[in-house]
Structure 1
Amino acid sequence: MNYERIKEKLNILADAAKYDVSCSSSGSNRKNKTNGLGNAEGIGICHSYTPDGRCVSLLKILLTNYCIYDCAYCVTRISNDIKRAAFKVQEVVDLTINFYRRNYIEGLFLSSGIFKSPDHTMERLIQVAKKLRLEENFNGYIHLKSIPGASDELMYEAGLYADRLSVNIEIPTKEGLKLLAPDKNRKDFLQPMNKVKNEIQKYKSERKLIKSTPKYAPAGQSTQMIVGATNETDAEVMYTATYLYKKYNMKRVYYSGYIPISYDSRLPAIGTEVPMLRENRLYQTDWLLRFYGFSIEELLNKNHPNLDSDIDPKLSWALRNLHHFPIDINKSDKQLLARVPGLGMKSVYKILHGRKYRKLNWEHLQKMGVALNRAKYFITCDSRNFETKDYTPAQIKYKILSTSQTKYKNTLSQQLNLFG
């Protein structure tokens, strides 16, 4: 093995893979029962955080950065003058095993540029996963980035060896995709998603009857959208995400702010990167839709097509709907409590549990971890009521932002004093 050449390939193809952010905790339960290598149970992906706060590691690379397409937003586009490289199937297998043995990684995230054809590329990705599972007895986490346009047969085979599959939708709107990637067709992205969804449902049904049914993509599927390469609104981004969640049972939709990589008149100018704050607001909205009972129309619509940059989506909604507030902490149901700014779902459950034994007051709420600097404008409890009727939405917003800035300055001052 030419180690210098392998190292060079690794530098090139790991760097090219950094633009793909669709990584999460595995959610898989592939156990190691055969004295093999690795164990995906409870283990996630490189440089990502699991729901319980653990940071996990992954070998995240492209099989190759050669590509037959010329998508304007992609660093591996055929017209880009970049250094190209390609791994052999066995090289990726060896790297994964060697890195795992050295405790560098807990799994593999493998993507690729498209060379020759979607099916040819997908076959190579599957070969890597198949060799790891069958020849190396590797039971760690494997996430394969499925290739748009790959056949149903290959998508089925991929799910037998990978814990998670994903097909990046890439651009949120059909019009944006047609503008920036005219050689690609939206249906080529949706067809593999549909196949994976159907096979997962089939596996779950058969598993109830036959326990020995081979696992199929036990960690589900995810996708990623590039935000800001076209002029789509936040509403268009989130409406697409909502559709993907409902139609294809996505585990996660990821939002990646476009990073200008080369000049193209169809793209934003170099140096005008999408603010990370926009990504953050999209993820917050995603969370509200999936776990807090909000509908997309409540958060984003024709009258409010973009998210506020200075306040989070829940606070923005509350200020636009003050007629729903204040609510009584000791009487309101879970759905109403979840809509109060400053109340996370953990706090909501604590409130529902605690009020079974006594009426809750401000002191109780503070001990529960409720962010009273926000919540107090929208709730009442078993204490002197905090009157909100005298405040306009603009005044409440100003007070909350002022309090947050003061708290931040005090925290920063305390930290600086520790080193002073």
Structure 2
Amino acid sequence: MNFDRIREKLNILADAAKYDVSCASSGSNRTNKDKGLGNASKMGICHTYTADGRCVSLLKILLTNHCIFDCAYCVTRKSNDVQRAAFKVQEVVDLTINFYRRNYIEGLFLSSGIFKSPDHTMERLVAVAKKLREEENFNGYIHLKSIPGASDELMYEAGLYADRLSVNIEVPTISGLKLLAPEKKHEDFTKPMEKVKNEIVRYNSERKIIRSTPKYAPAGQSTQMIVGASGESDKDIMYSATYYYKTYNMKRVYYSGYVPVTHDSRLPAIGSQVPMLRENRLYQTDWLLRFYGFSIGEILNNQHPNLDMEVDPKLSWALRNLHYFPVDVNSADKNLLARIPGIGMRSVDKIIKARKFRKLNWDHLKKIGVALNRAQYFMVCDSRLWERRDLDADKIKGMILQNSSGKFRNQYITQLSLFN
């Protein structure tokens, strides 16, 4: 094996994989010294989280960055002048096993550019997973990126060897896809999603009858959208995300801010990278829709098509709907408690349990974990320490932002004093 060539490929194909945000790069490059245990390598190592909350490290690479398509937003597009490389199937298998034995990783995250055809590419991805499972007896986590347009037969086989499958929808709307990737069709993305969903449903059904039924994609499927490449509003993005959650039983939809990688008149100008704060606001909205009982129309609508960058989406909704407040935490139901800014679902459950024994006041709520700097404006409790209710939305927002900036300033001063 030519180790220098393998290292060169790893540099190229790990760097090309960084635009997929299903797991984030560790950025660590700590070498082993004095015969210690373990190493940390920044090349291709990323982190993800299991269902029980454990953080695991994955080897995150592309099989190749060669591609037959010329999507405007993609760094590996056919017309882009970048250094190209491709792993052989056995090279990926050997890398995964060697990294695992050295305790660098606990699994593999494998994607690819599309070369020759979708089926040819998907077949090679499946071959990697199959070799790891059957020849190397590898039981670590495997996440395969499904190739748009791959056949049902290959998608079925992929699910037998991978823990999670995902097809990146890439552009949130059909019109955006036609503009930026005219060679691709929307059904090329949705057909593999439909196959995976149906096979997971079938497996769950058969598993109840035949316990020995082979597992199929036990970690489910996910997808990713590029934000800011084709001008969609946050409302458009969240309606698309909700559609994929409901239609294809997605475990997660990821939001990736557009990063200018090529000069193209169809794209925003170079230098107009989407701020990470917009990504963060979309994830917060995603969470509210899935776990807090909000509907999209409450948070995003024709009057408010984009999220407020100054405050989180729950606080933004509350400021527009002050007629629901103040909420009495000692009597309100679970759904209404969950809509108070500064109260998470864990705190909601603690409040409901605690108020069975006594009426709660500010001190109790603070110990429970309620963020009183926001929540105090939207609730009442068994206390009279703060009862001003003559504030409008602008005043409340201003006071919260002022308190938040003061908090961050104090944290910064504390950090400086520690270093000094």
Partner of 2:15: 15
Q: Report the alpha carbon displacement of residue 54 of structure 1 after superposing the two structures with TM.
A: 4.6
Give distance in 1, aligned partners of 2:140 and 2:165: 15
Q: Is the CA contact 1:146–1:165 (under 8 Å) kept in the aligned structure 2?
A: yes
Equivalence map 1:46-85=2 (5 Å): 46-49=46-49, 54-85=54-85
DSSP 3-state at the match of 1:143: strand
Q: Report the alpha carbon displacement of residue 386 of structure 1 after superposing the two structures with TM.
A: 3.7
Once the two structures are superposed, residues 66-119 of structure 1 have per-residue CA deviations (whole angstroms, 9 ceiling, x without a partner) of: 000000000110001111111000000000000000000010000000001000
Structure 1-normalised TM-score?
0.93
Partner of 1:243: 243
Q: Cα–Cα, structure 1 residues 231 and 388, in superposed 2: closer, same or farther, change >3 Å? A: farther
Q: Cα–Cα, structure 1 residues 228 and 7, in superposed 2: closer, same or farther, change >3 Å? A: same
Does structure 1 residue 227 correspond to structure 2 residue 227? Answer: yes
Give distance in 2, aligned partners of 1:92 and 1:267: 34
Letter in 2 for 1:115: F
Letter in 2 for 1:251: K
Does structure 1 residue 384 correspond to structure 2 residue 384? Answer: yes
Give distance in 2, aligned partners of 1:133 and 1:274: 39
Does structure 1 residue 417 correspond to structure 2 residue 417? Answer: yes
Letter in 1 for 2:174: K
Partner of 1:40: none
Letter in 2 for 1:73: Y
Letter in 2 for 1:209: I
User: Aligned residues, how many?
Assistant: 400
Once the two structures are superposed, residues 294-331 of structure 1 have per-residue CA deviations (whole angstroms, 9 ceiling, x without a partner) of: 11111111111000000000000000000000010000
Does structure 1 residue 370 correspond to structure 2 residue 370? Answer: yes
Q: Is the CA contact 1:46–1:106 (under 8 Å) kept in the aligned structure 2?
A: no
Q: Is the CA contact 1:334–1:352 (under 8 Å) kept in the aligned structure 2?
A: yes
Q: What root-mean-square deviation, in Å, do the aligned CA atoms of Structure 1 and Structure 2 show?
A: 1.3
DSSP 3-state at the match of 1:46: strand
Letter in 1 for 2:111: S
Partner of 1:196: 196
Letter in 2 for 1:357: F
DSSP 3-state at the match of 2:208: helix
Q: Report the alpha carbon displacement of residue 412 of structure 1 after superposing the two structures with TM.
A: 1.2
Give distance in 1, aligned partners of 2:385 and 2:239: 38
Q: Report the alpha carbon displacement of residue 416 of structure 1 after superposing the two structures with TM.
A: 1.1
Q: Report the alpha carbon displacement of residue 55 of structure 1 after superposing the two structures with TM.
A: 3.6
Partner of 1:269: 269
Q: Is the CA contact 1:379–1:386 (under 8 Å) kept in the aligned structure 2?
A: no
Partner of 2:130: 130
Give runs of ≥4 in structure 1 deviating > 2 Å: 45-56, 385-389
Give distance in 1, aligned partners of 2:49 and 2:390: 42
Q: Is the CA contact 1:46–1:55 (under 8 Å) kept in the aligned structure 2?
A: no
Give distance in 1, aligned partners of 2:152 and 2:297: 34
DSSP 3-state at the match of 1:13: helix
Give distance in 2, aligned partners of 1:123 and 1:55: 29
Once the two structures are superposed, residues 246-291 of structure 1 have per-residue CA deviations (whole angstroms, 9 ceiling, x without a partner) of: 0000000000001001110111111110000000000000010111
Once the two structures are superposed, residues 188-243 of structure 1 have per-residue CA deviations (whole angstroms, 9 ceiling, x without a partner) of: 10000000000000000000111000000000000000000011000000000000
DSSP 3-state at the match of 2:100: helix
Letter in 1 for 2:196: V
Q: Is the CA contact 1:326–1:388 (under 8 Å) kept in the aligned structure 2?
A: no
Q: Is the CA contact 1:58–1:108 (under 8 Å) kept in the aligned structure 2?
A: yes
Partner of 1:255: 255
Partner of 2:28: none
Q: Report the alpha carbon displacement of residue 23 of structure 1 after superposing the two structures with TM.
A: 3.2
Equivalence map 1:72-111=2 (5 Å): 72-111=72-111
Q: Percent identity?
A: 76
